[in-house]
Amino acid sequence: MMNRIDTFVGALAIALAAATAHAEVEDVKSPRGETVRILVEKADSPFVTVVLFAGGDGGLEMSKAGEIHNLKGNFLLRTRRHFRSHGANTVVIDAPSDRHSLREFRDTEGHARDVGAVIRHLKATLKLPVWVIGTSNGTTSAANAGVRLAATADRPDGVVLTSTRMATTAIATGVPDLDLARITGPVLIAHHKSDSCFVTPPERMPGLQAALKNAKPVKVLWYEGGSGIKGDACEAYHYHGFRGIETTVIADIMAWIRNPAP
């Protein structure tokens, strides 16, 4: 019996080591003179690199070893292995070195320049298209990059918005209030019909779609159901975070990135 347990523990340790073998932490220099820490985790046979923007205040408190101390339960952070299983290198991005969070910064030119530096670095090192994916408050970061970098060589190849922030408050600007007409590339939107967070109301989706008038193609994926729903309606373990249907949502996102279509 002990031999079987030892064998299992050993196999588990090997599997965990293999799962983290391709992880690298890098501090990317931004045009602002600051650095942006990123955690790069490589898929076995990648066709794309995705930059993941967590919600909340966006400050992950990432260590030099790649340990994430804040927002670990966020939808995009807790599921990034599923993105890799579908062929995406995942890149987790932290707040820049001159800030502890992205509060009141997500919609700025400075944030876009930071993200542009990261995209440029990833394209140069990984030699693959780079998409930006945000969830909740992170959708403001992703959309802002799509807007402000649209006419530059550092623009993302596509934008994915999950549980999109529709309303503007003191914490962050709602995505529909950005100059979305500047985005001309593909945009995918994933939203839960039961999302009851006050800043992500599903009924405002038509306005968001209308604002993306030059993006091509644009697709909206609607979701229902889930399991293990708990906590605040704006938190990651509620419908807002696609609790219980994460693998389905990510499989759909990755299928669309591979073949964008209206």
Residues 107-116 have pLDDT tens digits of 999 999 999 9
Q: Name the percent of the chain lying above pLDDT 70.
A: 92
Q: Read off the amino acid at residue 164.
A: T
Confidence (pLDDT) at 53: 98
C-alpha distance from residue 28 to each of 94, 122, 226, 234 (Å): 11, 10, 37, 31
Higher pLDDT, 193 or 22: 193
2 in a structural domain: no
Phi, psi (5° rounding) for residue 190? -120, 130
Q: Read off the amino acid at residue 156.
A: P
The DSSP output letter for 176 is G
Q: CB–CB of 92/122 below 8 Å? A: no
Higher pLDDT, 2 or 232: 232
17 in a structural domain: no
3 in a structural domain: no
Confidence (pLDDT) at 7: 35
198 in a structural domain: yes
13 in a structural domain: no
Confidence (pLDDT) at 123: 98
18 in a structural domain: no
CATH of the domain at 192: 3.40.50.1820
Residues 13-36 have pLDDT tens digits of 334 433 444 899 999 999 999 999
Rounded Cα–Cα distance for residues 37 and 117 (Å): 11
User: What would you report as the CA-atom Rg of the chain, rounded to the nearest whole angstrom?
Assistant: 18
251 in a structural domain: yes
The DSSP output letter for 181 is G
Domain of 213, in residue numbers:
23-258
C-alpha distance from residue 208 to each of 5, 145, 212 (Å): 53, 16, 7
Confidence (pLDDT) at 17: 37
Q: CB–CB of 106/140 below 8 Å? A: yes
Number of domains in the chain: 1
Rounded Cα–Cα distance for residues 59 and 54 (Å): 9
Confidence (pLDDT) at 148: 98
Question: Span 208-216, mean pLDDT?
Answer: 98
14 in a structural domain: no
Give the torsion through C-alpha atoms of 17, 18, 20, 25, to 10 deg: 110
Q: Identify the residue whose tokens are 């038509």.
A: 206
Rounded Cα–Cα distance for residues 236 and 82 (Å): 17
> Is the whole model's pTM more than 0.95, yes or no?
no
